[in-house]
Amino acid sequence: EALGHKSALPPTTQQELSMILESSKERLNSNDHSVTQEVASHDAKQKLTQHSPDDIDLIGKNISTLNLSGDFDPFSMEVISKLLLLIGYPKPCHMAGVHYIDKDLNTLCVNSTIQLDSIKYKLLTEIGKGAYARVLKGTRNEKPVALKFQKPGLTWELYITQELQLRLKMINQKMLTCFMEISEAFIFKNSTVFESEWAKYGSLLDVSNTIKMKTSKVIPVNIVVVISSQMSSIIEHLHKCRIIHGDIKPDNFVVMNVAPLENRVLIKLIDFGRSIDMSLLPAQTTFTTDVSTSGFTCTEMRDKRPWTYQLDMFGLTATIYLLLMGEYMKVEKINNKWQPKTPIPRYGLKNLWEPLFSSLLNINSCREQPNLIEFRKTLDDYLKTVNVYSLKNQFTSFYNVLNGQ
């Protein structure tokens, strides 16, 4: 296979491991040698968490009272609420830009102006709507912003985005811009409103549809390779922070900028409402909960096998597939191996993608996750073989189409 399989967790140094315990506790049940490598010293954790050793132990004991079994649902609002309560969220490090408002907010109306606490927004258009959330485009001081209104409110997404920023500062500050940051959060009694950066080009799904509509073609395959390399880096660093996104799909990567002179597409991962913070859970925790999102049910769920980070690996594969093919991926099992029902054509770099996809769709166990560093290296090595001028011309055309030129 193209990818080597590593240990239970993504490649992470001991220093990085000490840094992901920003609001956490001692690992539970850490008798196994592979687990002890995850446990940082009390001194390192105390420095990062601003908790005393006694506080950290208390957090661990509190979480252990949940009696989490292998069958518990990590997406359960009851479990999430208890975790936030037991870790004492929010801590002082979580309070920047957060406004607690002791009243209800039932809706946001487009074509209106609203003042939230001391901040005034103009609400322009609705750009997305789900069962419990709406995303609107607005302006603050004439600058475009995205506003996510959720009812009932979801402080878990705020916690995850804050923790990611805190942990990434310790691991790789250059990756900070690749993850959604909530610049202002308004916590009402019955709802939440989160302000984040506006994405000019929309999601990868929007970009794929725009290219298809304007050119009757899919995104050029070399540009898909560039985007896929960046996506794999984003998910690699996400997992180094011990966080599972839980809903990786084309809708949840937004395109912030296209830089044809640099042959780059700058993307950002958003929507952390279904994320899982593995640093809060016992070291060998796995899940059996099924996710019914059409087209994004990982192969482990289909096989009734335990899963952890595999959920994001499947989402990465399905997202790349959509960019390559212009349609959602359906999978089938042949000779005990999962693969896309409709294979990648030869002109779509079939020989590059097939072994990579197989590695992400056929993960042996939760303890043998694919190495996304090797995944990205395979893509980057291919890009080194591409004619520089040809790639630049493709990026220029891509940029012009997205900008209506």
Give one DSSP letter per residue of 354-367, joined into a string: HHHHHHHH----TT
* Nearest alpha carbon to residue 276 among 248, 251, 305, 316: 248
Decide the pairing of beta strands 253-259 and 98-100: unpaired
Token pair listed for 184: 């202002």
Distance CA 195, CA 38 (A): 34
**Which residues sit opposite 140 in a β-bridge?**
143
Any bridge partners for residue 339, and if so which? Answer: 332
**262-264-268 Cα angle (round to 5):** 145
Say whether 124 sits in a helix, a strand or coil.
strand
CB 29 within 8 A of CB 283: yes
Q: What is the DSSP string of 30-85?
A: TTSHHHHTTPPPHHHHHHHH---HHHHHHHHHHHHTT---TT--TT-HHHHHHHHH
- 247 classed as catalytic: yes
- Mention every residue, 6+ apart, whose C-beta is less than 8 A from residue 362: 299, 337, 338
DSSP state of 283: T
Q: Which residues are annotated as a binding site for ATP?
A: 148
271 Cβ neighbours under 8 A, 6+ residues apart: 157, 180, 247, 251, 252
Given 43, 54, 247, 312, the catalytic residue: 247
How many angstroms separate the Cα of 284 from the Cα of each of 7, 152, 200?
Answer: 12, 32, 41
The residues, ordered by sequence, that sit 6+ positions from 386 with a Cβ below 8 Å of its Cβ are 222
Q: Which residues does the annotation mark as catalytic?
A: 247
